[in-house]
Amino acid sequence: MSNAEIRVAVLGASGRMGSEAVKAIQDAPDMELVAAQGRGDQLSEILSAGATHVVDLTVPESTEANVRFAVEHGLHAVVGTTGWDTERLQALEQLLAEHGSVGVLIAPNFALGSVLATAFAAKAAQYFDSAEIIELHHPKKVDAPSGTAVRTAELMGQARDAADVGPSPDATETALDGARGAEVAGIHVHSVRLRGLVAHQEVLLGSTGEQLSIRHDSFDRVSFMPGVLLGLRTVGSRPGLTHGLDGYLDLGL
Amino acid sequence: MSNAEIRVAVLGASGRMGSEAVKAIQDAPDMELVAAQGRGDQLSEILSAGATHVVDLTVPESTEANVRFAVEHGLHAVVGTTGWDTERLQALEQLLAEHGSVGVLIAPNFALGSVLATAFAAKAAQYFDSAEIIELHHPKKVDAPSGTAVRTAELMGQARDAADVGPSPDATETALDGARGAEVAGIHVHSVRLRGLVAHQEVLLGSTGEQLSIRHDSFDRVSFMPGVLLGLRTVGSRPGLTHGLDGYLDLGL
Amino acid sequence: MSNAEIRVAVLGASGRMGSEAVKAIQDAPDMELVAAQGRGDQLSEILSAGATHVVDLTVPESTEANVRFAVEHGLHAVVGTTGWDTERLQALEQLLAEHGSVGVLIAPNFALGSVLATAFAAKAAQYFDSAEIIELHHPKKVDAPSGTAVRTAELMGQARDAADVGPSPDATETALDGARGAEVAGIHVHSVRLRGLVAHQEVLLGSTGEQLSIRHDSFDRVSFMPGVLLGLRTVGSRPGLTHGLDGYLDLGL
Amino acid sequence: MSNAEIRVAVLGASGRMGSEAVKAIQDAPDMELVAAQGRGDQLSEILSAGATHVVDLTVPESTEANVRFAVEHGLHAVVGTTGWDTERLQALEQLLAEHGSVGVLIAPNFALGSVLATAFAAKAAQYFDSAEIIELHHPKKVDAPSGTAVRTAELMGQARDAADVGPSPDATETALDGARGAEVAGIHVHSVRLRGLVAHQEVLLGSTGEQLSIRHDSFDRVSFMPGVLLGLRTVGSRPGLTHGLDGYLDLGL
């Protein structure tokens, strides 16, 4: 057993995200990978391996039990699995109240650049007359707009409402069906699907004589790993539940 | 009377485009402005002024009579006015057949960059799996998509059909209404309306591992003037009717 | 005399910025323009006109005396004139200490989008391996890089130093002179000069698999006016000296 | 032996490009892969395998002998290997004169989008006052600017010279060293190096009131494969030597 303070067990280690996480943790000089579990492995083994932290990248059916197990045994948890509805979150918060020193991060998005882009867009939205979003993805994506674009639009819309900014000006009288995009929280959102692309989003903000554009390009799944490592390095000093990686960023927004 | 070979009469000289044309011609060292006519002026005066060329930037109601007058008196004409339907164009071609040395250019768009961007997009469209268009304009525009975007999509669609390129791949199963834009000739077109912008268009072409983007930004109406001057310098050596400024560009690659 | 609470005297009203400010204040429903002074006018007249606020858009030689006059007479001041070195700023702070209720904003840049872009770039810089800046301006600009780009690079460099981020990776061994741009605070800065452009800046931040781009386009001088109005609406509730419009933005950064 | 008309032998099949080519040819419905040779294999075996075409993706030391062997045995060749100087090209043309029906394509760049972008940039360059290039690559690249950017600048510069376009306007008086980039054939070229990027290039063209931007993004080496397949499908009908994939593209606008 080494002296690394962050001794990590990866759950869901054979999945696409999980296998990247295994590599990233092995390469991190301040961490040690002590367990890499897949379907069928026994959770108790991560205790005998001396884990201090858990990364959960499994499936919605397993994640709740995994995280409960971690909290009950005093392990901090970084969770990228979806499926955490309000009921589950409330139950987790109750459990955490009984284990005051344990921290859990549940993050729907670990790409630092994407998290920053969304935070900046939400902050800037109140200062411009017009706001629209273009998201661009590979053509195998089945939904439009992307979840990130919907979330960004909602946050921007809330900020504009709170600051009493009126709707974006728009004199369109005649339009082909769909030309002006989908409307989410008062923000027009356009979804491009193009072979060669991965996952990209551009927020456009305009006022008389000026434009502010905030764009994030995700070229590869490995872009999530710096966020996972940041989560692991921070979660031990943030007892209780944190929802969203932005809670760990020095954004003061 | 100077020795300039290109002696220009501007019709519609007090309109927005016309007044810019007057300035541009006055600044061109190889041209002379010999007449600047508005509503109510007599066309015969441009003959006594010694005009060799006419620029028509009037209104659909006047343009046909103006151009006929020019052709009948041996003047070359550069025409930016809309309203030239098939019937008018055929009548003009008959008239030009009787005046073999006269040239007429009818151009819906004088922005060189825009004309080039459309030509390049049409040419490249057959070589990529995916093709979409984003056009961005000021929020006072009443139609969506822009006429230029529709025309670009039509030319791209024709080129893809001719080369037997299938439709752009798109696995979208669930979409908010409008998210995927309007479809024109098989090309998805997205219309952004943003305060601060003027007239912009971006064509996106993608295949596995690569993207080609062709973008034109029009910041100001003066961007049409180099195209008007190019038209005036070329029309005298191109007898008959030319439709579209691209007919004068050295695009043979 | 109307009931508007913000009764503004514009100093330097015949300059390029000043004349835009006059129009913007006249159009603002919650303000009244009570004086528009040029060279040679008597400052005392702004008192008899009932001014509560002063906008100084004059020249470095006049601005200090103008602002002192305003402060001594209890008027809040929004200042866009350059020339405020450390000595002047210290003297002004002393004067403001004697007039506890008066607010002064000195802002080198009133474009909200530009101020936001710089703040976001400085905040994000610590989270990425690589950082570079491209600034693009009209070809009549005499200096390169732009002052805004230098300022942005300095703030980004400070943030990266404070977070112990190493230099951007760069394996360049052979380069044409100038290819890699100028280096400011460890950030490579590239200056494009292109006819048709006005003032634009793009900050590029990259890590493995992702890129964050923050771009500001200034198309027209009128883009400064929302910032001037925001300054006028805020300065009365912010006694003392504020340096930079970002001090009034809800950035919490 | 199948009935496919294009029966391909890949030379250099174990290299990075070669192994991608093997996969692409296996996936192409109109081709058959009949040989995949690495170092030490006997060229004579591609004859017994019934090859009609050769793809050479080897090294500068081998490529000339490989191509000579192909031509002498009546096989068409698509060549991506570098090292073809003037002397080698002349010797090859002599050999091809003796084998009138054989076609050879030597292409320094197989990315269709990149080839198109360069061709469009060269064509458009004469129509704008200003022209600059920004190329962006991963930070492990050892040279700056990229070879593609230098080649693009040279072609643009030649086109501008031929059309008697003067130099891009530039009033810069004071600049930090390197700020204005490197100058190649009168075109300013800026090289960005950013973690997360692969290979990207943007050509900016500007005139009063407008900008044309042509951007190519190469995200992955597989982007070269459509160009290799296009070469294989075309080379048999183009006897003699063709230099550059643009020679096979239908660019006549």
What CATH number does the domain containing B11 carry? 3.40.50.720
Residues of A in contact with B220 (CB under 8 A): none
Q: Residue A218: beta bridge partners?
A: A199, C210
Over the stretch C177-231, which tens digit does the pLDDT of each residue have?
999 999 999 999 999 999 999 999 999 999 999 999 999 999 987 888 999 999 9
Q: Is residue D230 situated within a structural domain?
A: yes
Q: Are residues B185 and B144 in the same domain?
A: yes
Distance CA B9, CA B55 (A): 6
pLDDT (0 to 100) of residue D252: 61
pLDDT digits (tens, 9 = 90+) for C55-88: 999 999 999 999 999 999 999 999 999 889 999 9
- Tell me if chain B has a CB within 8 Å of the CB of D130: no
The answer to whether D173 faces chain C, any CB pair under 8 Å, is yes
* Out of C129, C179, C194, closest to residue D195 by CB: C129
Q: Is the predicted pLDDT of residue B2 greater than 80, yes or no? A: no
Question: What is the percent of chain C where pLDDT is above 90?
Answer: 90
Q: Is residue C121 domain-shared with residue C210, that is, in the same domain? A: yes
Residues C50 and C90 in one domain: yes
Q: What is the pLDDT of residue D30?
A: 95
- Percent of chain D at pLDDT > 70 equals 98
Look at residue A44 in the predicted model and tell me its pLDDT.
96
Which residue of chain A comes nearest to D113, CA vs CA? A196
The answer to whether D181 contacts C183, with C-beta atoms less than 8 Å apart, is no
Q: Verify that A36 and A50 share a domain, yes or no.
A: yes
| Count of domains for chain A | 2
A78 φ/ψ angles, rounded to the nearest 5 degrees: -115, 120
Verify that D143 and D236 share a domain, yes or no. Answer: no
Please list, in sequence order, all residues whose beta carbon lies within 8 angstroms of the beta carbon of residue C45, skipping any fewer than 6 positions away. C35, C37
Reported ipTM: the value is 0.87
Q: Given a contact as 3+ CB pairs under 8 Å, which chains touch B?
A: A, C, D
The answer to the question of residue C195 being in a domain is yes
Domain identity same for D171 and D208: yes
The alpha carbon dihedral of C191, C197, C200, C201 has a sign of negative
Mean pLDDT of B6-14: 97
Residue D61 near chain C (CB below 8 Å): no
Same domain, B156 and B78: no
pLDDT at B153 over 50: yes
Strands A187-193 and C187-193 come out as: unpaired
How far is the C-alpha of C201 from the C-alpha of D182, rounded, in Å?
A: 19
Q: Is residue A59 part of a domain?
A: yes
Instruction: Tell me the average confidence (pLDDT) per consecutive run of 10 residues in chain A, 253 residues long.
Output: 79 94 96 96 96 96 97 97 93 97 94 95 96 97 94 97 96 97 98 97 96 96 89 96 90 60
In a shared domain, residues D36 and D160: no
In-domain check, residue A27: yes
Residues C210 and C123 placed together within one structural domain of the fold: yes
The reported pLDDT for the residue numbered D3 is 56
Q: Are C37 and C22 in contact (CB under 8 A)?
A: no
Q: What is the CATH number of the domain that holds A191?
A: 3.30.360.10
- Length of chain B as a residue count: 253
Q: What integer pLDDT is reported at residue C221 of this predicted model?
A: 74
CA distance B231 to A225: 56
Question: Strands (DSSP E) along C146-186, which ranges?
Answer: 174-175, 182-184
SS (HEC) of chain B:
CCCCCEEEEEECCCCHHHHHHHHHHHHCCCEEEEEEECCCCCCHHHHHCCCCEEEECCCHHHHHHHHHHHHHCCCEEEECCCCCCHHHHHHHHHHHHHCCCCEEEECCCCCHHHHHHHHHHHHHHHHCCEEEEEEEECCCCCEECCHHHHHHHHHHHHHHHHCCCCCCCCCCCEECCCCCCEEECCEEEEEEECCCCCEEEEEEEEECCEEEEEEEEECCHHHHHHHHHHHHHHHCCCCEEEECHHHHCCCEC
Domain that residue C130 falls in: 112-219
Q: What is the pLDDT of residue C9?
A: 98
Q: What is the pLDDT of residues B93-119, one digit of tens each?
A: 999 999 999 999 999 889 999 999 999
Specify the DSSP element, H or E, that contains D22.
helix D16-27
**Mean per-residue pLDDT, C27-53:** 96
Q: Is residue A30 part of a domain?
A: yes
**Between B109 and B35, whose confidence is greater?**
B35
- Chain C residues in contact with B196 by the CB 8 A cut-off are 217, 219, 223
What is residue C109's predicted lDDT score, i.e. its pLDDT?
87
Position A204 in a domain: yes
Q: Would you say residue C133 lies in a domain?
A: yes
Q: Do B91 and B52 fall within a single domain?
A: yes
Q: Is the pLDDT of residue B253 over 90?
A: no
Where does the pLDDT of residue C253 fall: very low under 50, low under 70, confident under 90, or very high at 90 and above?
Answer: very low
pLDDT, residue B161, reads 97
B129 near C CB under 8 A: no
* Pick from A135-144, B200-209, B218-227, C196-205: least confident: B218-227
Decide: A222 and C223 in contact? Cβ < 8 Å: no
- For residues D128 and D96, state if they share a domain: no
Lowest mean pLDDT of A10-19, B2-11, C106-115, name the range: B2-11
pLDDT digits (tens, 9 = 90+) for C122-136: 999 999 999 999 999
- Please give the pLDDT value at position B3: 56
**Cβ–Cβ < 8 Å for A93, A65:** no
The stretches in chain D having pLDDT less than 70 are 1-4, 252-253
- Whether residue B141 lies in the annotated active site: yes
10 Å Cβ neighbour count for D117? 26
B78 has pLDDT over 50: yes
Mutate one of D176, D208, D210, D215 to test the C interface: name it (highest C CB count within 10 A). Answer: D176
Say if D1 falls within a structural domain. Answer: no
Answer yes or no: do A157 and A202 share one domain.
Answer: yes
Question: Is there a contact between D223 and B246 if contact means CB atoms under 8 Å apart?
Answer: no
Per-residue confidence (pLDDT) for residue C31, from 0 to 100: 97
State the smallest CA–CA distance between residue C3 and chain B in angstroms.
Answer: 31
